[in-house]
């Protein structure tokens, strides 16, 4: 049978098992997510075979779980039918995808995950951070991981009694972490641990003195790393390397211009939505760290690049994110997926640029360096980059070598 959308829908229409009531809508959802016709057909074929097996085994969708996927794949082994490993892996992937979609529709029960007391307390802590303190998702995940590690070291897999935690436990945990992590990473651990102990104090489980017992890590303000900024020429070469005859090229050019002209962080580009573009005023609404919103002007070249992407490159999709994945399932880029970093790496590779590193943050550093060299003050740079602390902006003072030369004191006894 030809691998087309019509043939996949024909398989859905012929289904008579437990999946029959949902098969057609499931195939339609795959088409809406921009999966290729051949991919949709393969998924439908595996689903049809699985539906036939469910009928023979008299298994209802409400009871469907990963156990049944394993039993389904073991049928060939019991019948002594040879099957290559790659075919078996693909079959497993397609069935796991099907099961996940059925769970999203509410047809199947959610996966049963065995938890221990430490997981429950860490989850409650994450819920507190999200709904009471409004932290970003990345910070919540980091703090929750630290809390769980600390609880596992104190209580293992058994019952948790926070009132038994002592100063020795807190200091010992930090000392063990400091032996395997860099100072900046240890500082994140300390912040997460201190936040968790404050939460425990809020619950009435620990005394305030325990929060004060969390040791600090040495973090010298005079020794931050020198910002690694891409040069203006290399940045322009990376931008010009985008193929404007393709949807991917139009998207990548708009992303790179946002990084270079406005100094946006990767997570801020990912979070942009269609309604954040104010075309009448030429402005962009940016959701920065700690969910702080600010309005930035939209440069002409940035606006033209975004408009070109929306007109000729962006897929028709219900997702309201400004920038979408180029491969199915078509949706917004996920936070932490390194989607922006991949765009930067591919652009640098196409332009044959040997940049300081391959991350997106070098464009933000480059914007600050160019502003400094053009005569902008550090407070002005901090305002553009939306720094909350002047200390964050002060690192760029170390980049302006020419301005620092006049501050050099002659070495005693040296020739005048």
Residues 6+ apart with CB under 8 A from 43: 8, 30, 35, 94, 97, 98
DSSP 160-207: --GGG--HHHHHHHHHHHHTTS-HHHHHHHHHHHHHHHHHHHHHTSS-
Is the peptide bond preceding residue 294 cis, with omega within 30 degrees of 0? no
List Cβ neighbours of 9 (8 Å cut-off, separation of 6 or more). 24, 27, 28, 44
- Look at residues 273, 269, 274, 246 and name the one whose alpha carbon lies nearest to residue 256: 269
Q: What burial class does residue 230 get, using C-beta atoms within 10 Å of its C-beta: 0-12 exposed, 13-18 middle, 19+ buried?
A: buried
Is residue 409 packed enough to be buried (19+ CB in 10 Å), middle (13-18) or exposed (0-12)?
exposed
Catalytic one of 148, 267, 364, 365: 364
How far, in Å, CA of 147 to CA of 292, rounded?
A: 25
Q: How far apart are CA 201 and CA 203, in angstroms?
A: 5
Q: Is 22 noted as a catalytic residue in this protein?
A: no
Other CB atoms within a 10 A radius of the CB of residue 256 amount to 26
The two three-digit tokens of residue 247, written as one number: 């949807």
Query: Tokens standing for 276?
Result: 């954040």
User: Which one of 251, 261, 265, 314 is the catalytic residue?
Assistant: 265
- 190 in Cβ contact with 174 (< 8 Å): yes
H helices of 229-292, where? 232-240, 247-262, 266-271
Distance between CA atoms of residues 129 and 139, nearest Å = 9
Q: Is 289 a catalytic residue?
A: yes
User: Which one from 68, 289, 331, 386 is the annotated catalytic residue?
Assistant: 289
State the Cα–Cα distance between residues 323 and 407, nearest whole angstrom.
46
* Catalytic residue flag (residue 143): no
Neighbours of 24 (CB within 10 A): 17
Residue 265 among the catalytic residues: yes
Residue burial 60-79, b: 16+ Cβ < 10 Å; e: rest: ebeebeeebbeebeeeeeee
> Cα separation of 341 and 200, whole Å?
37
Q: Report CA torsion sign: 243, 244, 246, 250.
A: positive
> Which residue reads 């400094």 in tokens?
372
Segments of 3-97 assigned E as strands: none
Positions marked catalytic: 265, 289, 361, 364, 387, 396
């Amino acid at each position: 049978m030809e691998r087309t959308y019509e043939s996949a829908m024909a398989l859905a229409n012929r289904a008579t098992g437990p999946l029959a009531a949902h098969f057609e809508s499931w195939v339609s959802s795959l088409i809406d997510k921009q999966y290729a016709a051949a991919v949709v057909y393969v998924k439908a074929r595996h689903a049809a075979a699985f539906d036939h097996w469910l009928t023979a085994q008299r298994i209802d969708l409400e009871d469907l779980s990963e156990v049944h996927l394993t039993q389904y794949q073991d049928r060939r082994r019991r019948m002594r039918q040879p099957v290559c490993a790659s075919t078996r892996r693909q079959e497993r992937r397609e069935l796991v995808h099907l099961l996940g979609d059925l769970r999203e529709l509410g047809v199947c029960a959610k996966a049963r995950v065995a938890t221990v007391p430490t997981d429950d307390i860490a989850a409650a802590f994450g819920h507190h951070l999200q709904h009471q303190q409004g932290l970003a998702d990345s910070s919540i995940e980091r703090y929750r991981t630290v809390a769980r590690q600390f609880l596992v070291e104190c209580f293992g897999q058994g019952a948790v009694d926070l009132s038994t935690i002592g100063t020795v436990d807190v200091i010992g945990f930090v000392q063990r972490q400091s032996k395997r992590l860099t100072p900046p990473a240890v500082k994140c651990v300390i912040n997460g641990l201190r936040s968790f102990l404050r939460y425990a104090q809020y619950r009435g489980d620990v005394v305030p003195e325990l929060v004060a017992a969390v040791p600090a890590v040495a973090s010298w303000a005079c020794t931050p790393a020198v910002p690694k900024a891409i040069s203006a020429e290399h940045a322009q070469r990376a931008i010009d390397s985008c193929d404007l005859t393709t949807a991917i090229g139009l998207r990548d050019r708009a992303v790179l211009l946002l990084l270079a002209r406005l100094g946006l962080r990767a997570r801020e580009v990912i979070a942009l939505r269609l309604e954040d573009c104010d075309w009448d005023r030429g402005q962009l609404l940016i959701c920065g760290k700690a969910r702080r919103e600010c309005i930035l002007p939209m440069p002409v070249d940035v606006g033209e690049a975004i408009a070109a992407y929306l007109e000729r490159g962006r897929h028709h999709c219900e997702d309201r994110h400004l920038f979408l994945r180029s491969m199915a399932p078509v949706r917004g880029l996920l936070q932490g997926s390194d989607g922006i970093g991949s765009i930067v790496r591919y652009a640098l590779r196409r332009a044959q640029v040997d940049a300081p590193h391959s991350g997106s943050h070098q464009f933000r550093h480059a914007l600050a360096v160019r502003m400094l060299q053009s005569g902008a003050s550090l407070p002005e740079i901090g305002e553009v980059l939306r720094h909350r602390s002047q200390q964050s902006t002060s690192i760029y003072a170390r980049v302006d070598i020419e301005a620092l030369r006049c501050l050099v004191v002659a070495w005693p006894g040296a020739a005048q």
